[in-house]
Amino acid sequence: MPPDQASLEALFIAACQAELAALKPGNVHIHNANHRMTMDDFERSARVAAPHIARLGAPVGERIEAAMRATWDEVGKNTNLGILLLSAPLLAAAEAGGDLRRALAGVLTGLTVEDTKATYRAIALANPAGLGEVADQDVRAEPSLRLIDAMALAADRDLIARQYVTNYALVFDRGVVHLAAMEARGWSEDWAIASCFLDFLGAEPDTHIQRKLGRLIAGRVQRAAASLSLKLIQADDPASLKDELLDVDNTLKNMNINPGTSADMTVASFLASRIPRVILGTG
């Protein structure tokens, strides 16, 4: 039986809330918001976006645009663009039932130019930091490519775009796997998510940081995160590192460094891990 919309909305909200509960150095979380945003901004954003991002039968681009407009009307800032870009195809794939990755591949290859137009309008509305301009298929111009092809043009400089052309390889093969491993160790959900975030951040430069502050700073943050991620994974009790993580969190926020892409990838990983289990009953 295909999932109902209420279940998909609830799962999307739960994924957003779970990510906010985790201590993610440099990013917004319940222990320390900052970046001129509040927990309430993100919680309200998730609630108003949910009916649109999870709307049964809606095209992916339409979901993204409607959810972004609802978010902007509610909080007047970009709190969730990356989350919406990653969540819309996953929730569309959940409707198909069966194997999630196989269904996702069908969703991604079926994206149209209309999806691109709607997604570009959402990105232009959000106006993320460091967006810049490109010669071909710039988001401020009228697109002529299918969304998956437009994402391919940005895949080398944007990790979220790369997921569209790799069938979410890092989400499934890194994020979902990492969450399962931490769960198998008996870690609480919030610490498993914090560890997943640091694993993404330590694996390669965060593309949000890179767009905004450049490769050098993004590389420094990556190397520091890789060391911290290893230390966390090796800990018998992850809570023993809370003070150290909070110190790093304050340092990054004082420097206005926000690993936003790593956080978005973490939400997508949590969502992808829960869709088979909660919605499809196959996990």
Band of pLDDT at residue 135, cut at 50, 70 and 90: very low
Structure token digits, residue 235: 């800990």
Question: Is the model's pLDDT at 139 over the cut of 90?
Answer: no
Q: Strand, helix or coil at 32? A: strand
Residue 225, C-beta contacts closer than 8 angstroms, at least 6 positions apart: 25, 198, 201, 202, 259
The span from the CA of 246 to the CA of 25, in Å, is 7
Q: What is the pLDDT of residues 213-272, one digit of tens each?
A: 999 999 999 999 999 999 999 999 999 999 999 999 999 999 999 999 999 999 999 999
Question: Is the model's pLDDT at 164 over the cut of 70?
Answer: yes
Q: Is the dihedral of CA 167, 203, 175, 118 positive or negative?
A: negative
Q: What is the pLDDT of residue 31?
A: 79
Number of domains observed in the structure of the chain? 1
Structure token digits, residue 12: 């999307």
Using CA atoms, how far residue 250 sits from 79, 128, 254, in Å, is 20, 22, 6
Q: What is the pLDDT of residues 65-111, one digit of tens each?
A: 999 999 999 999 999 999 999 999 999 999 988 899 999 999 999 99
Beta bridge partners of 29: 32
Q: What is the CATH number for 176?
A: 1.10.4200.10
Band of pLDDT at residue 138, cut at 50, 70 and 90: low
**Alpha helix segments (H runs only) across the chain:** 5-21, 39-53, 60-75, 81-96, 100-109, 113-126, 147-154, 159-165, 169-170, 177-184, 189-203, 207-213, 215-234, 242-254, 260-274
The span from the CA of 162 to the CA of 143, in Å, is 18
Range of the domain at 138: 5-279
Tell me how crowded residue 147 is: count the other CB atoms within 10 A of its CB: 28
Band of pLDDT at residue 137, cut at 50, 70 and 90: very low
Band of pLDDT at residue 38, cut at 50, 70 and 90: confident
Question: Is the model's pLDDT at 136 over the cut of 70?
Answer: no
